[in-house]
Amino acid sequence: MELPLRPVLSIEVAKAIAEAAKSYAAGKGFDALIVLVLDAGGHLLYLERRDGVPPGPIQVAYLKARSATMFEVPSKVFEETVAEGLTGLIGLPGMAAFEGAVPIFHEGTLVGAIGVSGLTKELDGEIAQAGADALPEILARLDA
C-alpha cells in the first residue's frame, strides 16, 4: 500500500502569494495591512506586517486563516453563520468569525490559507482572495 502524496507550499510560493495580495491591495490604494500564509496544517509559513500597522491584527489574521484552513472554507462563512444565529461557533477554540481569510487549493487539495487584517473585513477578504487566486500564475511563472 502506498501513502497518498499531497502538494505543499514552499516558502517561495508562500511569499509570492503574499506579494500578489499586497500588490492587489496597493492597486486599490492600500498598503497598511497584515498578510500571512499558513500551510495545510494551519502553521505559519510567512508573515508580513507593513509599516505603521500595530501588532494586534497579526493575531486576527492568524485566527482567520487558521479557521479557513481547519474547515477549508473562507472565514466569511463563519461570520455569516454567526450572523444567522449559530453564536456558539465563536466559542470554538481558535475560531475567528470574521471575513478576511481564504483557503488555498492546488488541484483540489488544500495546501494552506492566506489571512489579511488591518483594513475593513470586506477589503481583507477581497485581498486574501486575490492572493489565493494568484497561485496558478505563480506556479506557472516558477516553472518557466
Ordered by start, the domain boundaries in the chain are 11-137
How high is the pLDDT of residue 72? 97
How high is the pLDDT of residue 46? 98
| Distances 54 to 35, 89, 90 between C-alpha atoms, Å | 13, 27, 24
Task: Single out the residue of 37, 48, 34 nearest to residue 9, CA to CA.
Answer: 37
Segment (H or E) for 13: helix 11-27
How high is the pLDDT of residue 95? 87
How high is the pLDDT of residue 37? 98
How high is the pLDDT of residue 91? 86
The rounded distance, in Å, linking the Cα atoms of 89 and 12 is 34
| Distances 104 to 9, 17, 18, 63, 135 between C-alpha atoms, Å | 10, 10, 12, 15, 8
Task: Single out the residue of 30, 37, 33, 35 nearest to residue 135, CA to CA.
Answer: 37
How high is the pLDDT of residue 19? 98
How high is the pLDDT of residue 66? 96
The rounded distance, in Å, linking the Cα atoms of 113 and 64 is 9
CATH superfamily of 11-137: Haem-degrading domain (3.30.450.150)
Spans in the chain with pLDDT lower than 70: none
How high is the pLDDT of residue 61? 97
Neighbour count for residue 63 (Cβ, 10 Å): 20
How high is the pLDDT of residue 40? 97
The H-assigned helical ranges of 72-134 are 76-83, 121-133
